[in-house]
Amino acid sequence: MEAGAALLLLSALLAFGSTEDFYGDSISFMPPHVETDGTFEVTFHHRQNGRSDCENQEPYIWKDGMHTSFITTIGIQTDEDDTGQGRWCQTEGHTTATGLINETSFSVSDSGCCWVSNVNGKTNWTTHAELDVGTRSDTHALNNCPVTTTVSSLRAPQNCFSGFQLLAHDPEGDHVKCHFTSEASVSSNFTLNETTCTLTSTGEVAVGVHVFEIMLEDYPTETINLTYRNGTSEIWDASDSAAASLCKLTLQFSLDILSPVPDCDPGHVLPMFLPATPLHGSVLSAFVGQTFHLSAEAQAHHASINDFQISGPKSMTKEFVDEEHGKAKVTLSWTPEDSDLHRAVPVCFTADTNETQSDMRCVVVTVSEASILQGKVRIRCLASKMVVAIEKASIPDVDENFLRLKDRSCPLTSNSTHIIGKIPFSTCGTKLEDKGGFITFKNVISSFNLPAEVINRRRTVNIDVSCQFPKSISISSTYKVKDSDYIFTESSFGSFGYSFDIFTDGNFTSKVEPSAYPVEIKMLDTIYMGIEAESELPNVKLFVESCIATPDDNPDNSIFYDLIKNGCLQDETLKVHTTDDASFNFEVQSFKFSGDYDQVYITCSVILCEPESPFSRCAQGCLTDAARRRKRSLSRETTSRQIIQGPFQFPKQDVHLASVENTFNYVVLDSDTSIVG
């Protein structure tokens, strides 16, 4: 990657009012593009974290040597400490840069003073982002950068910090790698996993504020060709380990290591997120002009949750509710504007007490065009269909009886003011188009003539209707397929979803209500669970490829126990109760993990297939040799998706009794071996 157009932000005009108020920052890019006349445009949002006077920031002022035009907004405070102590705050502003560019990359940088007082002895800070401006051969567009951010103030007790995973999402599915920057001054005993972007400790870390400067870089998963405006092109070889990244950007944050606390169990004094909360890394969907809602719930039995700290877009609001039994809930609301279309928005949150906070969870909210106004035509995009309403007054002299969809067997209805069409994505002539990171469903409402008509005096009508969605959507409160909790979209399967439920008995009819979570169980109880698939396709087969148990809601936890692996049952107490192709009910005898763990989560990887395909993963069933699995290209099936259920919680007295009686405790020795003690 050649050095590109370097842009320098005058950091002196971006400083906080105090000399030691900088807590960190992040940059996220909108999808950049180049017009046919060679004009380059890129918009980026800049979040900055500080102490108590975020509202006093000055507007950004940019310099460059290329006569680039800049439109910059003043940073608007998005969240602040609501306890009255003024401990933290965050702002977000954005800048759009336009101009002619003949280079192969674009970069932006900023530096300033001063970091909050820290054990690293770090004073000055520097942030940097650089992106390749070649057109990719796989998406036919410029590269999208990774999406990341953090809340303003991160805290963890010294004896409880084991690490946390940073948000490192790439809109195009590229592989993201993380490493400390060359300017970073990292305290001993901190390590960063390059592949998972997880910050961990290898020993006891010092009490005090630690500051981190981390670079995220994205790498395509396959070889692509890059074409530039200056007429050159370049092959990006996926097999070349020395190949440069297509984008790199800096994430800066501070972490306050607190004095030890008496108990590190999640839910004791450390707030623990409850199952209603989206999982870390979830990709949710929002629509222009429609209010998006996200809810998170946490619990701390021996501490009071007084706030949820949020890192989100400007104009996102939060509503905090203090509930019984140490629970608290926050609801985030945000209405994307036209300028947010196709934006991938990082949102992170923590549940805070006066003494400490929960782990940080982050999601990505992708913004699509849900309501498209075509004259007096309003389109509402749902999970499995679009609902079209045509205002009759806007099409005078048109006989509604002579309007139809591509498939004339699908009827249109009407009332006194509107002609209405409920158009499924899988029938009625609806076509699906794959557009890189998005898929589009299209149909047409048009007028027609009767075969016997020689003349007519009706106006011709031809109205294109469409809905566009990101390819991957999960756990969205605004996007549902019936009662499914997990929603996905793939170009070959359209929209489909999964529900994963806990049942009260072996009839698999009565579900455990969400208010009963965490679900309390005793040793040797039978757990009844069920997975059901919902799809617009008439015939699909559900296949459960794996199910693992972990002591928390992280399916990548090194402590795990296989219930199902490669389609094969691994636990001797597990029994499957099959009812139809789209459901999978099973029972298993309860167990706990050895050590100081009192909770169990179950994560299953599931696939949908065409039932008649003899080569699909569903048809292969149990594979003792995973290498025997055929490639997806040989059959029509979805990507394997993870869904999670839990927690199952053991009462404290049961845990103590079990440890004394030594009753059926599972301990994981390695990835392939488990014993019962």
Q: Classify residue 359: in a domain, yes or no.
A: no
To the nearest 5 percent, what fractions of the chain are helix, strand and coil?
5, 45, 50
Chain centroid to CA 14: 30
Residue 271 preceded by cis peptide, ω within 30: no
Pair 626, 596 in one domain:
yes
Which CATH number fits the domain that encloses residue 382? 2.60.40.3210
Pair 445, 503 in one domain:
no
Q: Using DSSP bridges, classify how beta strands 272-273 and 307-311 pair: parallel, antiparallel or unpaired.
A: unpaired
Pair 655, 545 in one domain:
yes
CB 322 within 8 A of CB 305: yes
How far apart (Å, rounded) are the C-alpha atoms in residues 298 and 320? 11
Amino acid present at 597: Y
H/E element holding 618?
A: helix 617-620
Which residue in 10, 2, 148 sits closest to 70, CA to CA? 10
Cite the beta strand spans of 413-540 per DSSP E.
413-414, 418-424, 431-435, 438-447, 462-470, 486-490, 494-503, 519-520, 526-535
Pair 607, 577 in one domain:
yes
Pair 527, 598 in one domain:
yes
3-state secondary structure 88-109: CEEEEEEEEEEEECCCCEEEEE
3-state secondary structure 116-135: CCCCCCCCEEEEEEEEECCE
Surface-to-core class of residue 183, CB atoms within 10 Å of its CB (0-12 exposed, 13-18 middle, 19+ buried):
middle
Give the residue from 411, 445, 470 where a domain finishes: 470
Give the residue from 417, 445, 470 where a domain finishes: 470
Average pLDDT for the chain: 80
Residue 618 preceded by cis peptide, ω within 30: no
DSSP-based three-state secondary structure for 8: strand
CB 272 within 8 A of CB 358: yes
Give the pLDDT confidence score for residue 371 in this predicted structure.
44
CB 317 within 8 A of CB 311: no
How far apart (Å, rounded) are the C-alpha atoms in residues 270 and 169? 27
Give the pLDDT confidence score for residue 383 in this predicted structure.
64
Q: CB neighbours of 380 closer than 8 A, spacing ≥ 6? A: 370, 371, 386, 387, 388, 389
Query: 2: which 2 tokens?
Result: 């050649």
CB 235 within 8 A of CB 227: no
Pair 554, 657 in one domain:
yes
Q: Classify residue 619: in a domain, yes or no.
A: yes
Surface-to-core class of residue 516, CB atoms within 10 Å of its CB (0-12 exposed, 13-18 middle, 19+ buried):
exposed
How far apart (Å, rounded) are the C-alpha atoms in residues 255 and 257? 6
| Domain count along the chain | 2
In which residue are the tokens 């928005």 written?
A: 345
| Distances 278 to 274, 477, 486, 522 between C-alpha atoms, Å | 9, 10, 10, 27
Pair 665, 535 in one domain:
yes
Chain centroid to CA 481: 18
In which residue are the tokens 């995009």 written?
A: 381
Which residue in 458, 465, 456 sits closest to 423, CA to CA? 465
Give the pLDDT confidence score for residue 628 in this predicted structure.
56
Pair 528, 668 in one domain:
yes
What number of other Cβ atoms are within 10 A of residue 135's Cβ? 19
In which residue are the tokens 């945000």 written?
A: 334
pLDDT beneath 70: ranges in the chain: 1-20, 53, 55-73, 100-102, 369-376, 383, 397, 434-438, 449-460, 469-487, 489-492, 494, 536, 538, 626-635, 652-677
CB 495 within 8 A of CB 536: yes
Handedness of CA 563, 569, 572, 576 (dihedral sign): positive
Amino acid present at 203: G
Q: Classify residue 383: in a domain, yes or no.
A: yes
Give the pLDDT confidence score for residue 652 in this predicted structure.
63
Give the residue from 470, 499, 522 where a domain finishes: 470
Range(s) of the domain holding residue 557 = 486-676
How far apart (Å, rounded) are the C-alpha atoms in residues 67 and 58? 23
How far apart (Å, rounded) are the C-alpha atoms in residues 584 and 606? 10
Cα atoms in the Cβ-side hemisphere of radius 13 Å centred on 550: 15
| Distances 310 to 82, 115, 322 between C-alpha atoms, Å | 11, 21, 17
Q: Classify residue 388: in a domain, yes or no.
A: yes
> What residues does 424 pair with on adjacent strands?
385
Give the pLDDT confidence score for residue 206 in this predicted structure.
93
Pair 416, 528 in one domain:
no
Query: What's the predicted TM-score (pTM) here?
Result: 0.63
Q: Classify residue 628: in a domain, yes or no.
A: yes
Cite the beta strand spans of 220-326 per DSSP E.
224-227, 233-236, 247-258, 272-273, 283-287, 292-299, 307-311, 317-322
Pair 460, 494 in one domain:
no
- DSSP letter at 659? H
Q: Classify residue 626: in a domain, yes or no.
A: yes
Give the pLDDT confidence score for residue 33 in this predicted structure.
78
Q: Classify residue 214: in a domain, yes or no.
A: no
What number of other Cβ atoms are within 10 A of residue 196's Cβ? 16
What number of other Cβ atoms are within 10 A of residue 513's Cβ? 10
Give the pLDDT confidence score for residue 6 in this predicted structure.
38
Give the pLDDT confidence score for residue 451 in this predicted structure.
58
Q: CB neighbours of 627 closer than 8 A, spacing ≥ 6? A: none
Which residue in 55, 59, 56, 50 sits closest to 9, CA to CA? 59
Which CATH number fits the domain that encloses residue 608? 2.60.40.4100
Pair 554, 660 in one domain:
yes
Handedness of CA 28, 33, 34, 39 (dihedral sign): negative
Pair 493, 614 in one domain:
yes
Handedness of CA 607, 647, 474, 582 (dihedral sign): positive
- DSSP letter at 420? E
- DSSP letter at 75? P
Q: Classify residue 585: in a domain, yes or no.
A: yes
